[in-house]
Structure 1
Amino acid sequence: MIFLSKLLRLYINSSIHVAFAVLAFTCITYLDFDLDIQYHVLAFVFFSTIVAYTFVKYIPLLVSPNYKISNSLKLIYTLAAFSVIPVIFFLLYFDINAFLFIIGLTTLTLLYVLPFSPSAKNLRDVSGLKIFIIAIVWSGTTAILPLISSEIILNSFSTEELLYICSRFLIVVALIIPFEIRDLRLDQIYLKTLPQVLGVFRSKILALSFLLLSMFLFSCLMLDSYIYILMHFIIIVLVLKANRQNSFYYTSLWVEGVPILWFLTKYFFG
């Protein structure tokens, strides 16, 4: 039992779980627009998520002089290092438009961790910006990238596609709020996360408002309404139950696993 617990924690900490979540949202976009699945996109999204999350979460530890690297962290670094190989390989399959868009997302991810200059902050440390940067990268990766990889020009998106992207952004913000509530004890006050600025109750109200707006946008799109209502309801319950004492698994396994459940439900019952 202890072994299984350690294995599950390694699965989460190595960013494999979040990579499956990002992959699931990407697959949902392909299914929603009835597009031919681009498998190089899916492979790139999965492995690049592992690399990006490892970079964001663990690279800062390498510059900490007093931090001792554990065996599990060595495995995480090794997995990320090997994941760079398929990222570079599948990157070669993208056309110039998709490639430039990926460069933009990569730059945003790098600036999230690295400061603009030696005397400046990184984007993560800019007050109130953290949650929206993450939502932009997720929405760009899971909604915009599949569309432009299917030869849809970025500046010629239809109203339907724009509403879809906006809805994905709202959903991601709502999913991040339980993480920010959990991290109230850890986040520095200068970050001004939504729970720090608005409080837990008002942050939940904001998340619920975003979810209701997302449901409205989906009603305009007429996409498998019963599945989307069910998934929005599940997220609403998870947001309402979020608190500072939530366990590691509540957010990192269950909240982060919503896109995976969403995809499986749509794939088998949609």
Structure 2
Amino acid sequence: MQWAGKIFDFYVKASIHVSLAVVSFLFLSSCFLNISVPNSLYLFIFFGTIPAYNFIKQTRGGQNQYFGLLSGDKTIRWFSVLSLTFAAYFGTQLTANTMMGVLILAVLAVFYTIPIFPSRKTLRHSGIIKVFIIAFVWAGATVLLPVIEVQHYLSWDVWIETLQRLLVILVLMVPFEIRDLGVDPNEMMTIPQRLGIRKTRRLGIILCLIGFLLTFMKDELLAYEVLGKSIISLSLIGLLVWLPEKQHRYFASFWVEAFPVFWAGFLWGILNAV
């Protein structure tokens, strides 16, 4: 079964898993906002996430920061190039406004990875700013982009959904922040470094509750949305309560990132059972 382990390892390291998480969030947005997201956007987001995340991973240590993918694993490198080619193809099928939004998010991702000035550190090393950049990029890609693509106006409900998605991403980042607590330099001043692990958990639980309560501020609210978001909130709270300080190798990179996939599968089951 050694081959199965190698396939799974590639699945995680090549960012296929995180790409599935992103498109799962995209599916949740289509359900909660009652919009029909075209397959071209699903495929663009899926294939575009792979090279983006692989580049970020290769430059994580600050080395080869301008040519991270050129020095990484060859298989992942060529897989990223192939994915980028597919993303470019499906990108041609999207509207100009959507691609403008993609450009803005891409610029944020680049500034997160590469310092604006070679002598300065990247935004990745800026502690709290880092997590908000990641959360905004995920929320923008999975809520705002599909709304723009279907030419739906940015209504009150869209902004509520965007804020909720941002809060969910912030909470999902807590396990990663705690995992990296022992390796992050003190000058980064991440949330666990500032508050400690216990208070960081409490903050995450508060964000979960705020995010869920925001559901009832929407103008149009469906029963399955309340059910779906209650499951999301409860599972996130459970994650924070039982989150181990010493995590298994794939705990954050697989199980935590699988949460959106589980949520999307659960909601799909509800919609098909009705």
Q: Any conservation in 2 of the 1:183–1:244 contact (CA below 8 Å)?
A: no
Structure 1 residue runs of 5 or longer lacking an equivalent are: none
The alpha-carbon deviation at position 259 of structure 1 amounts to 0.5
Q: Distance in 1 between matches of 2:247 and 2:170?
A: 18
Considering only aligned residues, what root-mean-square deviation do their CA atoms show, in Å? 2.0
For residue 262 of structure 2, what is the aligned residue in structure 1? 261
The alpha-carbon deviation at position 59 of structure 1 amounts to 4.1
Q: Distance in 1 between matches of 2:178 and 2:144?
A: 28
- SS state at 1:168 partner: helix
Q: Any conservation in 1 of the 2:127–2:191 contact (CA below 8 Å)?
A: no
The alpha-carbon deviation at position 31 of structure 1 amounts to 1.8
- SS state at 1:196 partner: helix
For residue 83 of structure 1, what is the aligned residue in structure 2? 83
The range that moved more, 1-10 or 39-48, is 1-10
TM-score (norm 2): 0.90
Q: Any conservation in 1 of the 2:204–2:240 contact (CA below 8 Å)?
A: yes
- Is 1:151 matched with 2:126? no
- Taking the TM superposition and a 5 Å limit, the aligned residue runs for 1:35-114 are 35-59=35-59, 63=64, 73-114=73-114
Structure 2 counterpart of 1:198, which letter?
L
The alpha-carbon deviation at position 180 of structure 1 amounts to 0.5
The alpha-carbon deviation at position 38 of structure 1 amounts to 0.8
The alpha-carbon deviation at position 267 of structure 1 amounts to 0.7
Q: How has the CA–CA distance of structure 1 residues 78 and 148 changed in structure 2, closer, same or farther, with 3 Å as cutoff?
A: same
Q: Distance in 2 between matches of 1:178 and 1:251?
A: 6
Q: Distance in 2 between matches of 1:209 and 1:47?
A: 34
For residue 183 of structure 1, what is the aligned residue in structure 2? 180
Q: Distance in 2 between matches of 1:20 and 1:127?
A: 26
For residue 197 of structure 1, what is the aligned residue in structure 2? 194
* Equivalent in 189, 205, 210 of residue 208 of structure 1: 205
For residue 126 of structure 2, what is the aligned residue in structure 1? 126
- SS state at 1:248 partner: coil
- Taking the TM superposition and a 5 Å limit, the aligned residue runs for 1:130-145 are 130-145=130-145
Q: Distance in 2 between matches of 1:116 and 1:176?
A: 24
Structure 1 counterpart of 2:183, which letter?
L
TM superposition outliers: structure 1 runs of 4+ over 3 Å: 59-62
Q: Distance in 2 between matches of 1:84 and 1:51?
A: 6
For residue 249 of structure 2, what is the aligned residue in structure 1? 248
Q: Any conservation in 1 of the 2:50–2:80 contact (CA below 8 Å)?
A: yes
- SS state at 1:34 partner: coil
Deviations 1:231-255 (A, max 9, x none): 2111111122223301122211111
Structure 2 counterpart of 1:202, which letter?
K
Q: Distance in 2 between matches of 1:241 and 1:125?
A: 28
For residue 25 of structure 1, what is the aligned residue in structure 2? 25
Percent identity between matched residues is: 29
Deviations 1:200-257 (A, max 9, x none): 1111111111110110012333342122211211111112222330112221111110
Structure 2 counterpart of 1:246, which letter?
Q
Q: Distance in 1 between matches of 2:170 and 2:200?
A: 11
Q: Distance in 1 between matches of 2:237 and 2:9?
A: 25
Q: Any conservation in 1 of the 2:201–2:241 contact (CA below 8 Å)?
A: yes
Structure 2 counterpart of 1:56, which letter?
I
- SS state at 1:129 partner: helix
- SS state at 1:27 partner: helix
Q: Distance in 2 between matches of 1:195 and 1:146?
A: 33
- Is 1:219 matched with 2:216? yes
The alpha-carbon deviation at position 129 of structure 1 amounts to 1.3
Q: How has the CA–CA distance of structure 1 residues 82 and 59 changed in structure 2, closer, same or farther, with 3 Å as cutoff?
A: farther
Deviations 1:17-52 (A, max 9, x none): 000000000011112222222111101100111011
Q: Distance in 1 between matches of 2:24 and 2:163?
A: 18
- Report how many residues are paired: 263
Structure 2 residue runs of 5 or longer lacking an equivalent are: none
- SS state at 1:84 partner: helix
Q: Distance in 2 between matches of 1:129 and 1:190?
A: 13
Structure 1 counterpart of 2:40, which letter?
H
The alpha-carbon deviation at position 16 of structure 1 amounts to 0.4
